[in-house]
Amino acid sequence: MDLLASELHRVEALRFGEFVLKSGLVSPVYVDLRVIISYPALLNKVAHLLFQTTRDAGIQYDSVCGVPYTALPLATIICSANQIPMLIRRKEAKGHGTKRIVEGIINAGETCLIIEDVVTTGSSVLETAEVLRKEGLNVTDAIVLLDREQGGEAMLAKNGIHLHSVCTLTKVLKILEQQNKVASVMVMKVERFIQENISKPSGENGATSIKRTCKEMSFGARAELPGTHPLAVRLLRLMEKKQSNLCLSADVTKSSELLQLAAVLGPSICILKTHIDILEDFTLEVIKELRRLADQHEFLIFEDRKFADIGNTVKHQYEGGVFKIASWSDIVNAHVVPGPGVVKGLKAIGQPLQRGCLLIGEMSSEGSLATGEYTKAAVKMAEEHSDFVLGFISGSRIVEKPEFLHLTPGVQMQAGGDSFGQKYLSPQEVIGKKGSDIIIVGRGILAAPSRLEEAETYRKAAWESYLQRVGVSTQV
């Protein structure tokens, strides 16, 4: 163990100083085991230690699945060296081929062992376990190289998973201190940080309670919650990465203009919202190129279809027809007027593809009836179908559950309205005061002389408002 700790320190898999984590907290230690893939001897050693821990614990299992992505090469080495069947869990299903979320031979009723590199709250392991369990597999144990001792073991135990760790962060710290690689003052600082930021299981759904110094949870922290929809997790993380909570409403009628917007403004946005049925020259080739640009620039596509029919009808509208929306759009939205059938119909098509849905809780047009009891009904429906519904279209935060996202349309730098009853609010009002997460901007950007400059202005305004709301310093 002494040699392992020394090697992890040497390759900078463990670093000490001040690091802003995805949760918004400033940590004195940063663990990044992704670097070990560039050190084959160390990678093999870690895989061996994980397998040895499995044998020492006497765990019985039929297959192995590594949590994507860092644990995948570790699981591959273990399975290859010991002739064990391996499964691969995709972070999202492909829109073509078999559309499977888990690759490999699945035998329902068998037991799958999960491999992970680092555990903090246990949310990543739990997310993988939930996917495997939906495939009919048993998940009772998980092996991790490094336990950060911040509540992951308790969280997984609450969900029926026994966590076995090769080592703990505290143990590694003590070894490095004895080797004079880390000062005693830093060791004490890290230990204090661990104790002050332990996640504890609470509630029936296994949600975590985390002691925080910020006013509310950051996007990164919300991505770590076990109840957050996988697509919302992906969105929250790319928002943190790109420092963007801007959705572009690309209400244009020409395919060339749509693709140009995606190519030029893609780096500035987290979502591109389409009204695909207003394109005068729609083809599936256009969609293929839009999808490529979304992958290149890391934004999600949101088709603003506003489904509002019975379940069987919306299934066909979503999957088929000319537009084949389910095959390319990450997110769609729906009115709740038809009742839960509209969500069930969409979910039947979208859930296997790892798509998500936003429910319209409020609208930004004057005289809208989407208020009061309608909004309450939208919240209730979202809570009952949280495995597919990831949030709301609304003018403000309508539910105090951090797992749900709130997207607000009708945003311009200057508040006001237009002749069609559209009401506009500023990014500061929407994010800072109304508590929404993402601003949706259309004409404010499209009508500007320089669309890129204007998009950046909106992005910065929305992001600064978010940082002020959560109380996170912009200094990293």
Count each helix (H run) and each strand (E run) in the chain, helices first. Answer: 17, 20
Specify the DSSP class assigned to residue 224: T
- CB within 8 Å of 420: residues ≥ 6 apart: 365
Q: Is residue 62 within 8 Å of residue 31, measured between CB atoms?
A: no
DSSP 8-class letter at 422: B
d(CA 162, CA 55): 14
Alpha helices in 94-229 (DSSP H): 123-134, 152-158, 169-178, 184-196, 219-223
Tokens, residue 335: 């009115």
Structure tokens at 329: 């759009």
| Among 117, 141, 147, 304, the one annotated catalytic | 304
Strand partners of residue 272: 248, 301
Task: For residue 432, give the DSSP letter.
Answer: I
Q: Identify whether 304 is a catalytic site residue.
A: yes
Which residue among 62, 251, 309, 387 is the active-site one? 309
Query: How far is CA 217 from each of CA 224, 405, 418, 419, rounded to the nearest angstrom?
Result: 10, 12, 35, 38
Q: How far apart are CA 83 and CA 86, in angstroms?
A: 9
Helices assigned H by DSSP within 123-182: 123-134, 152-158, 169-178
User: Does 309 qualify as catalytic in the annotation?
Assistant: yes
β-sheet bridge partners, residue 357: 332, 389
Cβ neighbors of 453 (< 8 A, separation 6 or more) are none
Residue 225's closest CA among 240, 239, 209? 209
Reply yes or no on whether 387 is catalytic: no
Selecting among 306, 380, 423, 434, the annotated active-site residue is: 306
The catalytic site residues sit at 304, 306, 309
